[in-house]
Structure 1
Amino acid sequence: MAFNEVLYKEIMEELDIGKEYITDVARAFRWDLEQGLKKSEYSSLPMLPSFIGLPDGNERGEYLAVDFGGTNVRASVVRLMGNSTFEVLRRVEKPLVAAGYNLINSSASSGELFDFLAETVGEAVEGDTEKAYFLGHTFSFGTEQKDINRARLIKWAKEFAVPGVEGEDINDLLEQALIRKGFSNIKPVAILNDTVAVLLASAYTYPDTRIGSIYATGYNTCYMEVMPAVGRPACIINMESGAFSKMIPSKWDLELDRASEQPGRQRLEKMVSGKYIGELFSRLIKELLDLSTKPSFSTVDMSAIMEDRSVAAKILVDILGNVAEDEEIIEKLRNLAKAITIRSARIVAASWAGTLWHIAGSGRVEPQHIAVDGSLFQHMPYVQENVRRALYEILGDEAGGLDPVLVKDGSSIGAAIAAAVATCR
């Protein structure tokens, strides 16, 4: 089975995006952001207000957090101690699908789902029905948000299909369940998505943080907007930046898009996120080796292939068979994984640079932390170094004051901080 050398060269040249490309992406991203703030039909960014500002690091007290965005739900008790310090006192994590029950499909009711969440919260407070708690809720599904504590689910995603939740106020459903379970002492006061939670978690520790990002299976960014045009004096904006579309995709990006669940949507996300770069790697290998069926490589596979040549050989042979025993082919496929990953990091950096330019206005980009959570940023080889390199290419010496920082457990910590900010405003 021959390896297509001509096609390989074409693909590698297409994936090698230079300074001019990423600078153009950064400029276009800023333009789209600012058009989105004006509700222009020409913007591809939704620019959703979160109705919450940043903490000042001096918030104190014990707060509850619920993190609900996948098939596990987490409840935590977080103590904010001021001076930008905190500690997690207790954490409970429980699956929504297990032997004997399934709380994500259409056989479950909204009451059963939210009763389960309330019981999990109850475990976190060790059954305490007396002490008053404020609760922040990280809810990572698409909502129509009207205030810091008012958000209605638009449509389930991630294979959730529980009836009776779409169109409903999420924290109302949670509060009713808490009351049913005897926890009327616990009051939900804030609801937010995971990207906003990451920004809040970092800003509590690093007060100069203005941008938060999820760089994992999906991709999204939020930032602190201080312009009055957003309808509030100051507010974190969830950009849903994976929807950004003003980039030139390759023909292979377009083919992936046409085969995706939502063709024509989420262009940036499909070029950078973990859900899609493994798929792109798989599709390109199919063409390069002229395979009859598409192999299936995950980002975990890609990471291992890039990190260790001997491991790469084993993974490639396991999935592709004897064709991958050729040393030269193994090295070329390792370079292909690297090129896809580096392109992802450079596009992500460009979206951050556009946001930084907007925040700076006509002035210089100020030194600041950039909050990032997610497996690609944390674990993927070549990502962090190439994000930083691209920021320098776009911003020059202004990038010297930027510090992208990994935020662990941001969804839970940020939810607790949201509860504090909501009750102190």
Structure 2
Amino acid sequence: MIEEINLSNSQLLSIANDFKEKIKTGLKTDSTEIKALPTYIHPKKNELKGEAVVFDLGGTNFRAAVVSVGNDIVIKEMVEKDITEMKISGYSQTDLYQSQLEIIRKLNIPKGLPVGYCFSYPAKSLFNGDAELIKWVKGVSIEDMEGHAVGKPLIDYLNENSDFDFREITVVNDTIASLFSGLMNTGFDAYVGLIVGTGTNMSTFYPSENIPKLNELKKWIGETPVNLESGNFFPPHLSKFDAVVDQNSNSLGAQRFEKAVSGMYLGSVFREAVSDKNSYRNLDAAGLTNMIKNPADHKKEHIELAYRIYERSAKLVAASLAGLIESLHEVNPSIKRIQILAEGSLFWSELNEGQAGYSKIVAGCLDELLSEIELGTKEVVFSKVSNANLIGAAIAALSK
């Protein structure tokens, strides 16, 4: 079992190179494995002031807040609710909007504020600031929403069913929101947004001239935020257990990287690798981490397997980051300092004293891989910002 899970550095370098090449393809052509979706917002890095109402729809929670941006960023009000009901079969678009309205109503929202919507699902950015849902992931499958705008229908519903009068909405992916929030930390040559939680994804900035599929859009130039949708990456060297997890999913052939890395699927990989599947029926990443932290409660071989799956997830993230950094280097070799604004409970999870937690495994493995591809002089800093999704969505709304 363990041999199937372990990855050598040569395999990780192969994964990094494959990821880099697929980014290059995604920047040239639409609808490829790495979608590399441009976001048509130039975030204002300086002298940005104002207030915005922001919504944040993730894999398990929905949040709404009023955010003030200026010399300091202040979350003036915030409300949230568990929204795992989205994953129930038959859950409708109206059900979603009504559930969101119930929580938004709890805010005291000043009239006339722009709306920023952090939407944590694959969506194509539109020039008017909205976004079009490409595909539901994370176990969600609400009918009649894929292929349609997600922002305007929501504010139309809110306005029609309440006293709200929302007029403008700007929709960004959660990795783009993280990317934008990271701009508060100055002094870096490149920025990356990273999510490793229920799902996984990455984003960064590319100059428009290095995004060939934008060549015909003469009105758009400059640094362009790009949502890679890296969860759909199909890396080499996955195990037979990953193949079974994919076969048993409701998205056969898609999101293979996410199914090997993210919190939603790590328990499934573990179950497929052990004979006693029934004892771990509801295991998720948090449960996997708790197993590792409480070895006396489980079989020794199960603890070892749990750790190797956890470690492999971190190393796969490191390999993909190495590929992305090499891609950024090819565009601009003068890049020296790179910030990775990381979000997600899995990424920042810790183990027992003396054991490297997830972020440390990623950082250590990434250092090794960058040295192997002769990019070891790059300084990579992993950062964390509280409420990054809310802050990034506010920056997007106020920059539009």
- Give me the TM-score of the superposition, normalised by structure 1: 0.80
Moved more, 343-352 or 169-178: 169-178
Alpha-carbon contact 1:199-1:212 (below 8 Å) kept: yes
Does 2:48 align with 1:59? yes
**Who is 2:363 aligned against?**
388
Q: Is the contact between residue 271 and residue 344 of structure 1 (CA under 8 Å) also seen in structure 2? A: yes
Deviation of 1:18 (Å): 2.1
| Alignment-derived partner of residue 354 in structure 2 | none
SS in 2 for 1:187: coil
Number of the residue aligned with 2:217: none
Q: Is the 8 A contact 1:195 1:213 kept in 2?
A: yes
> What's the counterpart of residue 97 of structure 2?
114
What is the DSSP-based 3-state SS (H/G/I as helix, E as strand, rest coil) of the residue aligned with 1:147?
coil
Query: In structure 1, the residue corresponding to 2:14 is in which secondary structure?
Result: helix
Q: 1:210 aligns with which of 187, 191, 197?
A: 191
Matches within 5 A, 1:113-262: 113-114=96-97, 117-118=100-101, 120-124=103-107, 126=108, 128=110, 131-147=111-127, 149-157=129-137, 165-180=145-160, 181-184=162-165, 186-206=166-186, 208=188, 210-228=191-209, 229-231=212-214, 232-233=220-221, 234-262=223-251
The answer to whether the 8 A contact 1:283-1:295 is kept is no
Q: Deviations over 1:344-390 (max 9, x none)?
A: 11110111111111112262552121011101111153311111111
State the Cα deviation string for residues 302-359 of structure 1 (Å, max 9, x = none). Answer: 111212333xx1xx3xxxxxxxxxxxxx333222111111111111011111111111
Please give the alpha-carbon distance, in whole angstroms, between the structure 1 residues aligned to 2:3 and 2:17: 23
Residue 21 (str. 1) matches residue 11 (str. 2): yes
RMSD: 2.8
Q: Which stretch of the first structure deviates more once superposed, 168-177 or 333-342? A: 168-177
- Counterpart-to-counterpart distance in 2, 1:58 and 1:167: 36
Match of 2:280 among 286, 295, 319: 295
User: Is it true that 1:335 corresponds to 2:314 in the alignment?
Assistant: no
Structure 1: segments with no counterpart, 5+ residues = 1-10, 317-329
**Structure 1 residues 162, 383: closer, same or farther in 2, change over 3 A?**
closer
Taking the aligned partners of 1:61 and 1:230, their CA distance within structure 2 comes to 34
Q: Quick one: which amino acid aligns to residue 274 of structure 2?
A: I
- List per-residue Cα deviations over 1:239-281 (Å, max 9, x = no partner): 1111112412222222322222222222211221112221111
2:313 aligned with 1:368, yes or no?
Answer: no
Question: Alpha carbons of 1:148 and 1:28: their partners in 2 closer, same or farther (altered >3 Å)?
Answer: farther
Partner of 2:394: 416
Confirm or deny: 8 A CA contact 1:174 1:188 kept in the other structure: no
Quick check: which has more Rg, 1 or 2?
1
Cα 1:280–1:103 change in 2 (3 A) is closer
Q: Is the contact between residue 138 and residue 199 of structure 2 (CA under 8 Å) also seen in structure 1?
A: no
Q: How does 1:259-278 map to 2 (within 5 A)?
A: 259-278=248-267
DSSP-derived class of the 2:51 partner: strand
Alignment partners' CA distance in 1, 2:163 and 2:30: 47
Name structure 2 gaps, 5 residues minimum. 215-219, 352-356
Is the aligned partner of 1:405 residue 2:383? Answer: yes
Which of 21, 24, 34 is equivalent to 1:31?
21
Q: Is the 8 A contact 2:4 2:240 kept in 1?
A: no
> What amino acid is the match of 1:86?
I
Quote the Cα distance in structure 1 between the aligned partners of 2:61 and 2:96. 12
Corresponding residue SS for 2:348: helix
Code of the residue aligned with 1:398 in structure 2: it is G
Preserved contact between residue 13 and residue 369 of structure 2 (Cα < 8 Å):
yes
Indicate how the Cα distance of structure 1 residues 261 and 179 shifts in structure 2: closer, same or farther if over 3 A, else same. closer
Q: What residue is the counterpart of 1:3 in the other structure?
A: none
- Larger helix fraction of residues: 1
| Cα separation, 2, equivalents of 1:106 and 1:237 | 33
Structure 2: which amino acid aligns with 1:91? M
Contact 1:74 1:92 survives alignment (8 Å)? yes
- For residues 3 and 129 of structure 2, the distance between their equivalents in structure 1, rounded to whole angstroms, comes to 48
Instruction: Give matches, 1:346-357, under 5 Å.
Output: 346-357=315-326
Mapped to 1, the partners of 2:121 and 2:203 lie a distance apart of: 15
284, 288, 308: which one aligns with 2:294: 308
Give the CA deviation at 1:120: 3.8
By how many angstroms is 1:118 displaced?
4.5
Structure 2: how far apart are the matches of 1:243 and 1:150?
A: 22
| Aligned residues between the structures | 380
Post-superposition offset of 1:294: 6.8
**1:92 matched to 2:79:** yes
Determine the C-alpha separation between the residues in 2 that align with 1:292 and 1:16.
21
